[in-house]
Amino acid sequence: MMGAAGLTEASEVAILSANYISHRLADAFPTLYASASGRVAHECILDLRPLKESAGIMAEDVAKRLIDFGFHAPTLSFPVANTLMVEPTESEDLTEIERFIEAMLAIRAEIAQVESGQWPRDDNPLKHAPHTARHVSQTEWAHPYTREIAAYPVPGLRHAKYWSPVSRVDNVYGDRNLFCSCVPIETTSER
């Protein structure tokens, strides 16, 4: 439907966007599998593996924290464990790409606070993400970071905030204890 020219342009924009993100985040999150010139194709694989040792932070923690910034997390731990595969599509405009970069740099600054010991490895915004409206509005707040950091890690979120309806779930428990919430077949009427 796009035609040859449209498909070429879409591919060029996707490649340009991935390289832009890779370049802008290089100091905070190195890119795996870049060429000798530092270039990538239509995706960049951000290497978060060193953060496990330095801060106890995993790619899953960053992915969950991105939800607090209003982003659906990129592909997690593929093709390498503890990485994020960022694939900006040709439909993402520069404003949205810059917003993503701002979120990732803010997350890296939060990780630095864990690395420096300002926040504990097990009680920081990344380990408790995503933060629900219910969580940040509870009377009791026992975390070493503020409710504001939990809810509004960057100023722009005060004007347009996505609130996750659920907090973090135990993925391993869920994977090992599957259950169906479907209505039993015998209770449905025949058509």
pTM listed for this prediction: 0.89
Which pLDDT score is estimated for 189?
A: 66
Phi, psi values for residue 75, rounded to 5°: -60, 130
Which pLDDT score is estimated for 13?
A: 93
Dihedral angle computed from the Cα positions of residues 92, 93, 94 and 100, in that order, rounded to the nearest 10 degrees: -40
Matching residue, tokens 């905030």: 161
Fold entry, domain 3-187: Aspartate Aminotransferase, domain 1 (3.90.1150)
Q: Using an 8 Å Cβ cutoff, are 97 and 21 in contact?
A: yes
Q: Collect the ranges in the chain with pLDDT lower than 50.
A: none
Alpha helical stretches, state H, 26-159: 50-55, 59-68, 94-115, 133-136, 147-151
Q: Hey, where are the domains in the chain?
A: 3-187
Own/partner pairs for 155-158, CB < 8 Å, 24+ apart? 156/99, 156/102, 157/69, 157/70
Which pLDDT score is estimated for 23?
A: 97
